[in-house]
Amino acid sequence: MIGVYNRICVFMFPVFCCISVVNAQDLDPRAYIRIPVKTTVAISGLSFSTGDVLLDPSLPIEDLDANVESASLGVSRTFSLFGQTAQALAVLPYSWAQLTGKLDGLDKSRNLNGISDMRFRLSVLLLGGKAVSLSDFSKASSNTILGASISVSIPTGENDPDKLINIGTNRWSFKPEIALSQKFGSRWMLDVYSGVWLFTSNNSFYPGESERSQDPLYSFQTHLSYNISPRMWAAFNATYYVGGQTAINDVYKDDRQSNARLGATLVFPVAKTNSVKIAYSQGAIIRTGADFKTLSLGWSRTFF
C-alpha cells in the first residue's frame, strides 16, 4: 500500500489551489491526473499579484498600478462517471486590492476587499482514466490521458454598479476545455490544454444602467513537469489567450486580448497526506492588460 500511495502522490495536487485573479490566465499543471475514486482533497491558497492586474483585465483603466491579494478555500472529490474517473471541485476566494490609475485622463484610486466570484469545475478522464479504488490503483496504469472539463465562475463576488472596478464581475462565465497528458518514462509529463471562456452579459455595468458584453476568450496551456522524487515535482508553464473583445451597449472597444504568460510550479510533501505548492508567473507577450507578476502558495490535505 505504501508503494501505491507514493505513485498517487507523484501527481496529486488539484487545480485552483491558489485561484487566479483572472480566468484566462490560470496555469494548472497536472490538472488531469489519475486519482482513485472516493478521494477527497481539502485545499487552501494565497496569491499575491502586483502590476497591471485587474479582476477584469478588459476594463478601460490606464497606467494601472495594483496590488491584489487573494485567499481561497476549497474541496474536491473524485467519483466514477460512466466507469471513468471524474472530479468535482469548488473554490471560494476572498480578495483585497489596492489600485491606482487613470480613468478618462483623471487620476483615480480605490481600496476594496470582499468575497470574489466562486469557481466550480467538473472534469472527467475520457481515455486512460478508468475509475478504480485505492486498492486497485496500481493495476490500472496509463501513460496517455485524454480529459475534458467544464469550469464555471459564479457571480458571488461583491459588485457595486456605481463603481467601475469591483471584486465581483456580476456575470456568469463558462469554460469547456479538452486536455491531453502524456507521461515519458517515470519522471516527465507533458500537458496540453485548449479551452474557451464564454461570458454572459453584465446588465448593470458602470454607471449602473449600461450593458457590458464580452466575446469568447480562447485559451491554450502547455506544461512540462518533472518528478524530482516520488512525492515532489516541478513544472514549467506557459499559456496564451486571445479574443475577449468587450462592448458597452453594443459599442465595441479596442481591447481584444492577445497575451502570453510564463510560470513555474513546485510541489512537495510536508507530511504523509499533505502537500505544499509554490507557483510564480508573469506576462511574456502583452497586448491588453496582464502585465503583472503573481506568486501563489497553496496547501492540500488528502483523504483517501
The mean predicted confidence, pLDDT, of the chain is: 86
**Is the Cβ–Cβ distance between 119 and 90 less than 8 Å?**
yes
What pLDDT does 164 receive?
A: 78
Neighbours of 271 (CB within 10 A): 8
Number of domains observed in the structure of the chain: 1
Q: How confident is the model at residue 238 (pLDDT cuts 50, 70, 90)?
A: very high
136 phi, psi to nearest 5 deg: -105, 5
| Average pLDDT over every residue of 22-30 | 73
CA dist list (Å): 211 to 58, 61, 199, 203, 251: 15, 18, 13, 4, 10
Asked if residues 147 and 157 have their Cβ atoms less than 8 Å apart, the reply is no
How much is the average pLDDT of 69-86? Answer: 95
Q: Average pLDDT, stretch 113-133?
A: 94
Decide if pLDDT at 128 tops 50: yes
For residue 107, being part of any structural domain is answered with no
CA distance to 6, 39, 58, 85, 267, per residue, from 231 (Å) = 6, 17, 39, 21, 8
Q: Within a domain: residue 183?
A: yes
CA-closest candidate to residue 195, choices 8, 15, 4: 15
Least confident range from 38-42, 55-59, 194-198: namely 55-59
Examine residue 115 and state whether it is found in any structural domain, yes or no: no
* CA 78/CA 96 separation, integer angstroms: 31
Give domain status of residue 213, yes or no: yes
Which residues are within 8 A (CB) of 96 and not within 5 positions of it... i.e. 6 or more apart? 68, 69, 70, 112, 113
Q: Determine which of 52-56, 131-135, 157-161 has the lowest per-residue pLDDT on average.
A: 52-56
For residue 172, name the pLDDT band (cuts at 50, 70, 90).
Answer: very high
Write out pLDDT tens, residues 193-223.
999 999 999 999 888 889 999 999 999 999 9
- Per DSSP, the three-state class of 136 is helix
- Please tell me the predicted confidence (pLDDT) of residue 57: 54
Q: What angle do CA 278, 18, 149 make, to 5 degrees?
A: 115
Residue 256 in any domain: the answer is yes
Q: What is the pLDDT of residue 20?
A: 40
- 164: CB partners within 8 A, 6+ apart: 59, 60, 61, 103, 206
CA within 13 Å, CB half, 297: 4
- Do 192 and 174 touch, CB atoms closer than 8 A? no
* Residue-level pLDDT at 58: 54
Domain annotation covers residue 117: no
pLDDT in tens, 60-74: 677 777 888 999 999
State the average pLDDT over residues 65-84.
Answer: 93
pLDDT of the residue at 38? 94
Question: What per-residue confidence (pLDDT) applies to 290?
Answer: 63
Q: What is the pLDDT of residue 19?
A: 37
SS3 call for 268: strand
Domain range spanning residue 28? 2-63+71-99+125-303
- Could you tell me if residue 111 is inside a domain? no
Please provide the DSSP assignment of 95-128 as one string.
Answer: EEEEEEEEETTEEEEEEEEEE--EEEEEEEEEES
Pairing of strands 84-103, 202-205: unpaired
The one-letter amino acid code at 71 reads A
Alpha-carbon distance of 152 to 175, in angstroms, equals 6
Whichever domain contains 23, its CATH number is 2.40.160.40
Q: If you search the block for the grid coordinates 483517501, which residue do you land on?
A: 304
Q: Which of 23-32, 124-133, 160-169, 201-210 has the lowest mean pLDDT?
A: 23-32
Q: Is the pLDDT of residue 21 over 50?
A: no
In this structure, is residue 116 part of a structural domain?
Answer: no
> Which stretch of 56-65, 87-96, 97-106, 239-248 has the lowest confidence by average pLDDT?
56-65
Start-to-end CA span in the chain (Å) = 12
Backbone angles phi, psi at 229, to 5 degrees: -150, 175
Three-class DSSP category at 201: coil
